[in-house]
Structure 1
Amino acid sequence: MDTFENLSFFRGVSAKYAVDRPQILTPRADRRPKDSPKAFHKIADQWFERNFGIPYRSKGLFLTSQLVSASTYAATVDHVMRIIPLSDYRYCWSPKVKDLIFSAQRLATSSPQEIENHLDSLSYSETDLQAAYDMGNEVMLYCENYIAIPISLVTPPPEAKPQSIIITK
C-alpha cells in the first residue's frame, strides 16, 4: 500500500520554519488563502466539506511530489519540507488539477454555482495516492500532526553523489 511514508511529498514553507532540523507540527485549523481569491476559497471549502466531510482548503496541507512546484511556495530553496503525517489522515486530489490556484484565479469573479460546477468536473478523490504522486498534482492532506523534514536533510548535497572507481592490476 502506498503511503506518505514511502512516497515523498513536499511543501514549500515560509522563513519562520527551521531548516536545520525536523519539526513536529500541527496544521492550522483556519488556513487563509495566500494567493486564491477569498470568495473562491470559501466556496471551494464548502464544496469539499459537503462532498468529503472535510473543508480541505482551510484545514488541509497542500503538498506535491514535485520539488520544483513546492519550491515556488517556499521562502528559499531550503524551505521545502518533506511531509509525513504522524496521525490518522485523509487526503484529496484531482487527476485534472496540478494546482487549484490556476482555477481560483480564472474563476475569481464567477458565481458560486459556476465555481461549484467547475469543482464537480474535476474528479476529486480520496484514493490512489500513487497516481497523485506519479502525476505530481496538488494533494490536500488532512491530519492532526505531521513531521516536516527540511529538504537538505532528505536529499544529499550534490558533492555527496556516489562515485565509482575501477581498480585494475
Structure 2
Amino acid sequence: MKEDVVQRDCKPFLSLLGAGGRPLYRGIREQHDPLAVLNVQRDRQPTKMPRTIHAAVDAWFSEKFGVRYRGAGVFCTGDRRQADEHGYVHKIFPIGGFQFCWSPNVRDLFEWAKREGRLQLPPAQFVAALDSLDYREEGFSEAIASGCEVMVACRRYYVVPDS
C-alpha cells in the first residue's frame, strides 16, 4: 500500500531517480512510522554552523539558485552510513515537485568548513569560497551515488524507516 502512495505522490522524484535508482537517506532524531509525512522547515536554524555564516550561505544559495537550500531544504545523502551519523535512518521521497543541489566536493558543508578552518572567517570570506566548490542542480543519480550532501527543496516529503 505505501508503495502505491509513493508512486502516486512522488512522480517527479521517482522519474528523476529512474528504475533501480539508489535511495536517498536522511538521519532523523526520532524514528517515524512507515510513510510519515513531514513538512520542510522554512526557517531552519543550524545546530553547529555559526548563525552569521549560515545566513550568508543561505543568501548565497538564494542568489545563485533562487532557493534557500540551507535554511529551507532537507539534508540527505545516498550514503546510509552518513545518514546514520545524524539519527534514525529513513528513506525520503519528496512529494510533488522538488529541486536539489549538491557539490561533488562537499560530503558535509559543516565538516568541510571545520576541516578547512573556515568557521572563524567573516561571512563574506566564507561564502567567497563556495564558488570553488562546484555546487550544481543537475546530476541527481550522480549526487546520490557520490555519498555527498544533497539538499532537497520541497514542501513535504514522505519518510520510510530503513530497517
Contact 2:100 2:153 in 1 (8 A): yes
What amino acid sits opposite 1:14 in the alignment? R
Q: TM-score, normalised by structure 2?
A: 0.84
For the Cα contact (< 8 Å) 1:93–1:126, is it kept in 2?
yes
Contact 2:22–2:145 under 8 Å retained in 1: no
Q: Does 1:12 align with 2:21?
A: no
Q: Aligned pair 1:47/2:60, yes or no?
A: yes
Q: Alignment identity in percent?
A: 32
RMSD over equivalenced CA pairs, Å: 1.6
CA displacement at 1:107 relative to structure 2: 1.4
AA in 2 matched with 1:3: L
- Residue of structure 2 in register with 1:122 after alignment: 133
Partner of 1:151: 162
Q: Match for residue 156 of structure 1?
A: none
* Alignment: residue pair count: 146
1: CA distance between counterparts of 2:58 and 2:99?
15
Find the aligned partners of 1:112 and 1:37 in 2 and give their Cα distance: 9
Given the alignment of the two structures, is residue 35 of structure 1 paired with residue 44 of structure 2, yes or no?
no
CA contact (8 A) 1:99 1:138 kept: yes
Query: Unmatched 5+ residue regions in structure 1?
Result: 153-169
Q: Decide which of 90, 104, 112 is 1:95's aligned counterpart.
A: 104
Larger radius of gyration: 1
> Take 1:34 and 1:73, find their aligned partners in 2: how far apart are those partners?
11
The structure in which a higher percent of residues are helix is 2
Corresponding position: 1:137 with 2:152: no
